[in-house]
Amino acid sequence: MSADPAAYRAAEAAFWASIGQEPTTEHQVRLPTTGTAVRVQEVGEGPPVLFLNGGPNTGSTWLPMLEHLHGWRCLLVDRPGTGLSAPYPVTASNLPRIGASFVPDVLDGLGLARAHVVASSFGGHLALRSAAAHPDRFDRMVQMAAPAMIPGDQLPPFLRLMARSWVRRIMGVLPPNEPANRAILRQIGHGRSLDAGRIPPAFTDWYLAMQRHTDTMRNDGEMIGSAISSIESIRLTDALLAQVHVPTLFWWGADDTFGGEAVARHLVEVLPGATLTMVPDAGHLPWLDDPAAAATATSTFLQAAMARR
């Protein structure tokens, strides 16, 4: 299935319309470390907040939460290879370098000295590596549930399968469909919200269009497969995490199958100045389960930095 950027943009515009907003600016940012051009959508006014998506996903995954988040300049990054950003192959050998420079590279491209960061999953992994190497580029950070490749984490079945090249080839041929996507959402802890009808249809429609009309699944599939096959060599260590002195809130879904409360509490013990909120009936993407609560928790935590100035 070939990419169709116009079709994807149409579906994305409908997703934005569902929250009564639209991006005010679209940036093309070239990352100095890799030379990759990435897309950043911008909406809102106020202190800058950089949003980093997990995988396979894109920056627009944050829209349900943004409907309730006001008073911030929100910058939604399509990671390399996702959405409408150019690909860059991530491997075990280059991930530490790419991760350490990712947030500074994006901020440099946007002309920003520093920003708050909100991140999820693999985006959270990159944010932690960047925060350990360049804490001066961060104000505060919110990590939504388990970052990728942390001590004690677990992988759901569909990700373990993606480590196999033949599975990725089959996934590239089979047409994406909503039942499969709902099954994946259940695997990562969103079964309660699916049963209660809390996952907005606009999200599921947009996600299906992302799979059909961008190369996100292929690019992130290769990245995930490479990462899983070398996971012990690129897992975040306690020693690296201890270097993250950026004030950080972990807003952690209690049903996140990547790691439960014990994993979360260990992470918070290792990171200096980190705090933890366990969110009941929420999974790996907890802003989907309760967008308004995610926005309130994020805004309250980030505003604390303003009060201290």
127-141 as b/e: b if 16+ CB within 10 A: bbbbbbbbeebbbbb
More confident residue, 98 or 230: 98
Residue 224 is predicted with a pLDDT of: 78
Q: Which domains does the chain possess?
A: 5-307 (3.40.50.1820)
Q: What is the pLDDT of residues 260-269, one digit of tens each?
A: 999 999 999 9
Q: How far apart are the first and last CA of the chain?
A: 51
Q: Is the pTM of this model over 0.85?
A: yes
Residue 23 is predicted with a pLDDT of: 98
- Residues 6 or more apart in contact with residue 227 via CB below 8 angstroms: 90, 92, 95, 122, 148, 149, 234
More confident residue, 304 or 132: 132
What's the whole-number mean pLDDT along residues 156-181?
A: 70
Q: What is the pLDDT of residues 235-278, one digit of tens each?
A: 999 999 999 999 999 999 999 999 999 999 999 999 998 999 99
Peptide bond into 56 cis (omega under 30): yes
Residue 231 is predicted with a pLDDT of: 77
Residue 92 is predicted with a pLDDT of: 82
How far is 30 from 105, CA to CA, in rounded Å? 8
- Structure-token pair, residue 164: 């196999």
| Pairing relationship of beta strands 48-52 and 25-30 according to DSSP bridges | unpaired
Residue 155 is predicted with a pLDDT of: 79
The per-residue pLDDT of the chain, averaged, comes to 92
- Residues 6 or more apart in contact with residue 271 via CB below 8 angstroms: 241, 242, 244, 248
Q: How many CB atoms lie within 10 A of CB 27?
A: 16
Q: Is pLDDT above 60 for 69?
A: yes
What's the whole-number mean pLDDT along residues 192-208?
A: 96
Please, which pLDDT band fits residue 137 given cuts at 50, 70 and 90?
A: very high
Please, which pLDDT band fits residue 175 given cuts at 50, 70 and 90?
A: confident
